[in-house]
Amino acid sequence: MLQDGKLYIGTSRKPDDSINKPEYLDLKFGNRHGLVTGATGAGKTITLQILAEGFSNAGVPVFCADVKGDLSGIGAVGEAKDFLLKRAQEIGLEPYDFQEFPVIFWDLYGEKGHRVRTTMTEMGPLLLSRLMNASDAQEGVLNIAFKIADQGGLPLLDLKDLQALLNYMGENATELSNKFGFISKASVGSIQRELLILEQQGAEHFFGEPALKISDIMRTTNDGRGAISVLAADKLMMNPRLYGTFLLWLLSELFEELPEVGDPEKPKLVFFFDEAHLLFNDAPKVLIERVEQVVRLIRSKGVGVYFVTQNPLDVPETVLAQLGNRVQHALRAYTPREQKAVKTAADTFRPNPDFDCATVITQLGTGEALISTLEGKGIPSMVERTLVRPPASRVGPLTDAERAAVMKVSPVAGLYDEDSDRESAYEMLAARAKKLEEAQQQADQQAPESEEQNGGSRWTLPGFGDEPTQASTTGKPKARSGYQRESVVEAAMKSAARSVATSLGRAIVRGILGSLRR
Ligand SMILES: Nc1ncnc2c1ncn2[C@@H]1O[C@H](COP(=O)(O)OP(=O)(O)OP(=O)(O)O)[C@@H](O)[C@H]1O
Ligand SMILES: [Mg+2]
């Protein structure tokens, strides 16, 4: 039953209930993505658990979110409970061995796992706009903020860096608008308020350093098993946009960082998106298009993406079309929308002459599913009505003590636990303001009014050459203090840029989802 190169999912049976045949997910199609759907309590989490177990045993690292806390048991050896033994017997799973798996717990809040963070600079304006549910005008301002930071060499690490930059943009809106496009003070103000809300919702934990290294979720153990990264998401789910944005950021990082590998023997990493509807709920069209693009392209980097959600209609059609391995648990079909979901789900399968998909979907029992995986040259197998295997690890959560014990011996223990706060936009802009004030004082003491001296002065952000501002070319009269200020800004920004340029050693280029490209 257990075969090399294949992940055993369960055993299918004929309509007369006679045992039919084992169903597998072929590891060489593991990067062709997948979908697990079904109503509440139908068996999605257990299916995710047995898939994660199978990938781990095959040496494939797994990343998944634990939305209800019930997936953490994957880190403990399973117990021989009656309902599990019964299922093992029904499907002829022999021997049914129990096993614990190498898990690494992660948590944005640092409570139930190792801290996971990223920087604002790494996340980029597209995902940040999504996180803040920004209006078009706000998104425009955020794009400008990142342009100023990226080209001006101001690292945006945490929320206070962006706040400081926005302050600076508000104060210098007119001058900056000439260079970068219109900056509305009202939009700057509303973004600042949104940032405060994010901070109150705990997003500040997520932004900062040390940022998560992708290699830490791609570990394997000495005995060749893939580590299973489990993101504690119960608290995170209270802020669904943060949850969704975080997962998209991670996907985008994987995409930007991993090399092309074509179609490997088995995936390099498998990524489960539980509660996938949260990624797409009222997401702007452009974001959905980008996600679709990343999902399509990430396959050749050896990453398999598996969406887990109640309703197949939760996933946009363009994304749905790319999900090759499918597990459809029971759906209800009372309302027209539910009926539509059943029909959609049924229509995406390669039909089996033995039964009518749409009818069976509403009749499936717990832990039972319609399954079709890619086979042969990569075509979908005929759909089969399948009893999913019972997990080898524990069904249900770990205790706090067990979790703590796992974290203590984790390979990343100590790597992410402390915040570090190196010099970034906040400090640089504060230093600039201080210099400015000193210069102002000096100027007030030394020089009386001298319009001409300042009339030709101009400033630039590094990387923009030193073409004069529109204001100075058109010779529009300007308040003296404004000009005085800019030349000081210029100096401060340039020196900041130098230090950042040397520490990063590269120009900032952004990828499909707006995160950094290496
Ligand atoms: N393959 C299986 N073998 C044995 N029991 C199973 C299996 N799948 C599901 N069950 C039983 O059904 C219960 C509910 O399954 P599960 O938690 O996976 O549902 P779910 O679809 O994730 O629900 P929700 O949407 O509420 O999260 C399990 O706790 C277990 O008792
Ligand atoms: Mg579940």
pLDDT at 456 over 90: no
User: Is 395 a pocket residue for ligand 1 (Cβ < 6 Å)?
Assistant: yes
Ligand nearest the Cα atom of residue 44:
1
* 122 pLDDT tier (thresholds 50, 70, 90): confident
Quote the pLDDT of residue 468.
Answer: 39
Read off the pLDDT of residues 28-63 as tens digits, 9 standing for 90 and up. 999 999 999 999 999 999 999 999 999 999 999 999
Q: Is omega for the bond preceding 210 within 30 degrees of 0, making it cis?
A: yes
Q: SS3 letters for 69-115?
A: CCCHHHHCECCCCHHHHHHHHHCCCCCCCCCCCCEEEEECCCCCCEE
* 15 pLDDT tier (thresholds 50, 70, 90): confident
Distance set, CA 269 to CA 78, 218, 275, 472 (Å): 24, 7, 19, 55
The Å distance, Cα 427 to ligand 2 centre, comes to 44
Quote the pLDDT of residue 98.
Answer: 97
* 484 pLDDT tier (thresholds 50, 70, 90): very low
DSSP characters for 255-283?
Answer: HHHSPP--S-SS-SEEEEEETTHHHHTT-
pLDDT winner (highest mean) among 167-171, 291-295, 395-399, 454-458: 395-399
Average of pLDDT values for 75-97? 95
Quote the pLDDT of residue 518.
Answer: 60
Q: What is the residue with the minimal CA distance to atom 25 of ligand 1? A: 40
User: What does the mean pLDDT of the chain come to?
Assistant: 84
Read off the pLDDT of residues 407-437 as tens digits, 9 standing for 90 and up. 999 988 888 887 777 777 777 777 777 777 7
pLDDT at 218 over 90: yes
Count, in order, helices (H) and strands (E) of the chain. 18, 14
Read off the pLDDT of residues 174-193 as tens digits, 9 standing for 90 and up. 988 988 889 999 999 999 99
Q: What is the residue with the minimal CA distance to atom 16 of ligand 1? A: 43
User: Is 43 a pocket residue for ligand 1 (Cβ < 6 Å)?
Assistant: yes
* 486 pLDDT tier (thresholds 50, 70, 90): very low
Residue bearing the bigger pLDDT, 364 or 277: 364
Residue 10, helix vs strand vs coil: strand
Quote the pLDDT of residue 515.
Answer: 75
pLDDT at 467 over 60: no
User: Is 397 a pocket residue for ligand 1 (Cβ < 6 Å)?
Assistant: no
The Å distance, Cα 45 to ligand 1 centre, comes to 6
Q: State the pTM of this model.
A: 0.85
Average of pLDDT values for 159-167? 90
Q: Please give the Cα distance from 105 to 24 (Å, whole number).
A: 28
Quote the pLDDT of residue 308.
Answer: 95
Residue 137, helix vs strand vs coil: helix
User: Is 83 a pocket residue for ligand 1 (Cβ < 6 Å)?
Assistant: yes
Q: Find out whether 173 and 219 touch, Cβ atoms under 8 Å.
A: no
User: Is 73 a pocket residue for ligand 1 (Cβ < 6 Å)?
Assistant: no
Quote the pLDDT of residue 237.
Answer: 87
Q: What is the residue with the minimal CA distance to atom 31 of ligand 1? A: 83
Quote the pLDDT of residue 106.
Answer: 95
Q: What is the residue with the minimal CA distance to atom 23 of ligand 1? A: 41
Read off the pLDDT of residues 438-448 as tens digits, 9 standing for 90 and up. 777 777 776 55
- Ligand 1: atom nearest CA of 388 is 1
Q: What is the residue with the minimal CA distance to atom 7 of ligand 1? A: 367
pLDDT at 365 over 80: yes
In 10 A of CB 302, how many CB atoms? 23
In 410-495 the beta strands, taken as DSSP E runs, fall at none
Average of pLDDT values for 145-164? 86
The Å distance, Cα 39 to ligand 1 centre, comes to 10
Quote the pLDDT of residue 286.
Answer: 82
The Å distance, Cα 123 to ligand 2 centre, comes to 29
Residue 325 belongs to what H/E stretch? strand 325-328
pLDDT at 506 over 50: no
Q: Please give the Cα distance from 103 to 458 (Å, whole number).
A: 56
Quote the pLDDT of residue 455.
Answer: 33
pLDDT at 480 over 90: no
Residue from 23, 366, 385 to probe ligand 1 pocket by mutation (most atoms less than 8 Å from CB): 366
User: Is 388 a pocket residue for ligand 1 (Cβ < 6 Å)?
Assistant: yes
Looking at 77-86, 145-154, 347-356, which range is the least confident one? 145-154
Average of pLDDT values for 120-142? 89
User: Is 44 a pocket residue for ligand 1 (Cβ < 6 Å)?
Assistant: yes
pLDDT at 13 over 90: no
The radius of gyration computed from the CA coordinates of the chain, to the nearest angstrom, equals: 27
